[in-house]
Amino acid sequence: MKARHAPWTHLFALLFGLTLLIGCTAVQGAPEPAPDPAAANALTASAAAVDFGTVVVGASQTLNATISNTSHHNITLQQATVSGAGFSLLSPQLPTILAAQKNLTFVLRFAPSAAGKPSGSLVISRSGSHRTITLALAGIAVMPGQLAVTPSSLTFGSVALGTNATKSATISNSGSSALTISQLRVNNAAFQLSGIAVPVTLAPGQSASFSVAFIPTAAETVSAVVSAGASASLSSTASTTIPSVGRTASLALSGTGGVGQLAVAPQSVSFSSTQVGSSTTQSLTLSNSGTAPLQVSQAAVAGAGFAVSGMSAPITLQPGQSAPLSVVFSPTATGNAAATLTLASNAANPAVTISLAGAATAPPNPGAVKASSASLSFGSVQAGGSKSQSETLTNPGTTSVTVSQANLAGSAFSLSGLDLPLVLDAGKSLTFSVLFAPSAAGAASGSIALVSNATTPAPSIALSGTGAAPGQLTVSPASLSFGNVTVGSSQTQTVNLSAAGAGVTISAATVSTPDFTLSGFSLPLTLAAGQSIAVSVQFAPQSNGPASASASFGSNAQATAVTANFSGSGVAVPPPHSVGLAWSPSTSATGYFVYRGEATGGPYSKLNSSPSAVTAYADTSVLAGQTYFYVTTAVDQSGGESAYSNEVQAVIPEP
């Protein structure tokens, strides 16, 4: 027999006048042999396998399998042997006679004792014959659902009356079968549940969260229990019994209702002589002497010259907890001053009042302020860059002086290290920084006007500088074409980034589509004037068809980013090989089976699970570089199968 093959497919000839198809060419094989008449007296099963599906450990499930005598003679079924963990035969009792053209039902049970995927078989043997019929047995054993609540207890501690505290818990199913939570309740009205509505079904491994709120109504300690109950559920097409284990869980709750009591020490504050224009601070201590948390919602001062600091209301104090509070006296006129500080809270004593008093005196004659430089010149600074210089303020007088303002003119200048108001003691100095950061080319000027309480006016410092033109960033080439690239592979080209005129700092580089990527550099990247760097551009198409992208490079060179455009096209991987079969029909056959082996003479594996009614078959599961051997059989109306046909070889080329 001769055969030809195209590079994209392999075809060959089989028994029954099997035709080898190569493109549009057919080669005729030998005639098909007739089926064996003795095969008509045979046993057949309603299915080649019995699958019990999913069964819970400790439960059982039964399924039926039908054995048919398709011959015209009675057959004695001598013995039935069951193998596999958890599988057993309930009926019938053997030996027994299966009459001609009759059926017999075998009742099988799967009762697993451990989780897993056991497999087994039912082998039925005939009397006086070595022939047997075998049914594969399979099932999945899973552990029952297991209900659990975590944590096992919630302690709320002390909670003030009229308030509430909330905590969370999780209910979960740690088993391997679903559970339906039909009940979730608490046995004390001081606790309330939310966040979950029953009934709710939890799949294996699934969990659900819920909240427990403690709302005390009396100053006492209370406890409660959250109880949960569930029923198991399991999808099945046959009768099954599910064990009742692990379907209850509980959560212990406890909490104490109490009241807070606010205490303040000292209960009055007196400030000694404080100069006008300065300030003095004293500290108070707030504490909770009650049995529940309290919240201080406000600290209000009534009276001029006094203020509160160190507290951002509202604040919460637990029982026994304390917190500091500062009172500041900042007089604006000489003489005695008085005020009251009122603390509002939700404690048993909701308003606590503290008396405040202070004496204000006139300040001594202030000192003076002197600047180390009357002017600062920054010279030429590239637009987008910056330069810093230092300035020192000194008090050459004999008393302290307060610098209250530093009015800055000139948008290109900024100050740092000068926190105002600033108190300069006699003979002391402070150094701060002035930054020149031009945004455009050209001359810039500004000034710093100082304001103080010195008897002599504070100096004004002149500022000047020149913004130089920024460097220029270019990308070359401005576009790249990658042509066709196979999907799953990549191709790399390069572009050059160059700086001209002045140094350039590149701060950002982005590509608009994921098919193209940039590499070979890290950001931020500074290029000196005249310097270049090569950037790698990789095209790795993710799908067939054209692709394009633009790369954007942001820098301090110009307001808009420099861009480059990329294009390419993804092409598909060549299609796999296949083998096509065709043969002449047999007059006595109702269908055909196709077998394939990897060595001449077998063994062979059946490719079609049921007889093919047509005289052709396509094998698309072949691998490049492999050699395969094919045969076929004919099946008659009673299910009898003929011997193998002649063998044909197919060699699959490399891609």
pLDDT at res. 139: 93
Instruction: Inform me whether the pLDDT recorded for 68 exceeds 90.
Output: yes
| Mean local confidence (pLDDT), 209-237 | 71
**In this predicted model, which residue has the larger pLDDT, 160 or 535?**
535
The pLDDT > 70 percentage for the chain reads 89
Give the architecture-level CATH label for domain 9-32+584-651: Sandwich (2.60)
Is the CB of residue 182 less than 8 Å from the CB of residue 197?
A: no
> What band does 559 get if pLDDT is binned at 50, 70 and 90?
low
Distances (CA, A) of 310 to 216, 306, 331, 528, 602: 32, 14, 19, 51, 91
Least confident residue range of 245-254, 303-312, 646-655? 245-254
pLDDT for res 10: 35
In whole angstroms, give the CA distance from residue 217 to residue 109: 59
Q: How high does pLDDT run on average in the chain?
A: 84
Residue range 557-577: mean pLDDT, rounded: 82
Is it the case that residue 596 has pLDDT exceeding 70? yes
- The structure tokens listed for 578 are 């296949």
pLDDT, mean of residues 199-210: 87
Residue 576 pLDDT: 75
On the question of pLDDT at 237 being above 60, the answer is no
Domain 262-361: CATH superfamily is Immunoglobulins (2.60.40.10)
Is the entire prediction scored with pTM above 0.75?
Answer: no
pLDDT at 8: 31
Per DSSP, which regions of 144-267 are E strands?
147-150, 153-160, 165-173, 178-186, 191-194, 200-202, 207-214, 221-233, 248-258, 262-265
- The residue length of the chain stands at 655
Nearest to 582 by CA among 30, 6, 28, 8: 28
- Tell me the β-bridge partners of 107: 64, 91
SS3 state of residue 46: coil
What is the structure's pLDDT at 231?
59
The segment(s) of the chain belonging to CATH 2.60.40.10 are 9-32+584-651, 38-142, 147-258, 262-361, 370-468, 472-571
Residue 109's φ and ψ, nearest 5 degrees, are: -130, 140
pLDDT average, residue stretch 224-252: 57
> Mean per-residue pLDDT for 573-579?
76
Lowest mean pLDDT among 21-30, 224-233, 330-339, 414-423: 21-30
- DSSP type of residue 427: T
Helix-, strand-, coil-residue percentages of the chain, each rounded to 5: 0, 60, 40
Q: How confident is the model at residue 366 (pLDDT cuts 50, 70, 90)?
A: low
Cβ pair 448, 415 in contact under 8 A: yes
Provide CATH code, domain 472-571: 2.60.40.10
Query: What is the architecture of the domain spanning 370-468?
Result: Sandwich (2.60)
Q: Are 524 and 505 in contact (CB under 8 A)?
A: yes
Give mean pLDDT, residues 450-460. Answer: 86
User: Could you identify the residue written with the tokens 């043997």?
Assistant: 125
Q: Is the pLDDT of residue 32 over 50?
A: no
**CATH top-level class for 147-258?**
mainly beta
Residues of the chain with pLDDT > 90: what percent?
A: 41
Cα–Cα distance measured from residue 626 to residue 647, given in angstroms and rounded to the nearest whole number: 16
Question: In which element (H, E) is residue 428 found?
Answer: none
- For residue 299, which phi and psi values (nearest 5 degrees)? -130, 105
Distance of CA 198 to the CA centre of its chain: 29
Give the list of residues 6+ apart from residue 21 with CB closer than 8 angstroms, or none. 11, 580, 581, 582, 616
Task: Examine the pLDDT at 482 and tell me if it is beyond 80.
Answer: yes
Secondary structure string (H, E, C) spanning 220-240: CEEEEEEEEEEEEECCCCCCE
CATH number of 38-142: 2.60.40.10
For residues 655 and 619, the answer to whether their CB atoms sit within 8 Å is no
Q: Is the pLDDT of residue 441 over 90?
A: no
Segment 614-633 mean pLDDT: 89
Q: Which residue has the higher pLDDT, 364 or 506?
A: 506
